[in-house]
Amino acid sequence: MHIGHIPLTNRLFVAPMAGVTDRPFRRLCKALGAGYAVSEMVTSRRDLWNSLKTSRRANHDGEPGPIAVQIAGTEAAMMAEAAVYNIERGAQIIDINMGCPAKKVCNKWAGSALMQDEALAVAIARAVVEACAPRGVPVTLKMRTGWCAGHRNAVALARQFEAVGVAMLTVHGRTREQGYSGAAEYDTVAAVKAAVRVPVVANGDVDSPEKARQALAATGADALMVGRAAQGRPWIFREIGHFLATGEHLAPPLVAELERLLLAHLDEHYSLYGAETGVRSARKHIAWYLRSLPGGEAFRQRINALDDCRAQHAAVAEYLRVLGGSMDRLPAPGRQAQHTTKTTEGSWA
């Protein structure tokens, strides 16, 4: 599969998630089977480009390509300028955010709120494409099925986005009104796929290898984007890829493998954010990794009381060392220990 002229290693993508898909997390997911990862959204406001938050989000040091940066905003000229700014800092693909349902974004008429104003949405897409095309940078766009149940306009917009040169479309199978509630409906994603010739990516509720297969069958999409299910389970990409290729499940990760993975993740996290911010922002990642493990909730409470990254790192190492003495592998999600589904041994370390 390609995005414009850029080849991808597979069709399993990491969704852009604010506060989650930073450089350490993107690198990790790519190492564990994701073929593509999009950054957290970067504002189009020039006055915020030099802020610490934006500079971290625009940091791609050591990240394997292709480098994809998502931009958000409400003015076509500003979005075009933001695209160029990020290209100059290493972006090889620019993604336009028209899918974020957060109130603080939509209240400013950015994100999925743009789907209510089709003329503005298309003007933004056109301006960004025109800014990127001379630089050989493809433009992609992520949207929802519509603003609300009575206003599903993803198909109409998809045709217009394709016409102005957008190279790939990702559709989250929910309206903005739904947020993340209810079940993702794949009918609209399938309708978008049928309406355009550019690649279409299905997003929403892909939380297992079986669900991935179901989503592909229901939508006919060219690729899948995984978001919340990858939090604390970045090896889901390898699991999905193996299942789609063979119909078999990989064995769950070894506890020893998780120890190496999580500690390395923490090291890179501290390096990006610094000790003071890093110890706080790492807490959510640790909680996601350990939430289903024995004593995970009690350990989360202990971690939340630690304000030193060295103490946090040491506590995680000790927890996993002790856990490894009582169990070899992590439990398989959604399957009982006595389940007889055939598995294939494999390491993701």
Residues annotated as catalytic are 100
Burial 75-102 (b: 16+ CB within 10 A, else e): bbebbbbbbbbbbeeebbbbbbbbbbbe
Rounded to the nearest 10 degrees, how much is the dihedral formed by the CA atoms of 310, 313, 317, 320? 150
> Hey, how many other C-beta atoms are within 10 angstroms of the C-beta on 116?
16
Name residue, tokens 């971290």: 56
Which residues are CB-contacts of 167 (< 8 A; sequence separation ≥ 6)? 3, 4, 138, 139, 140, 198, 199
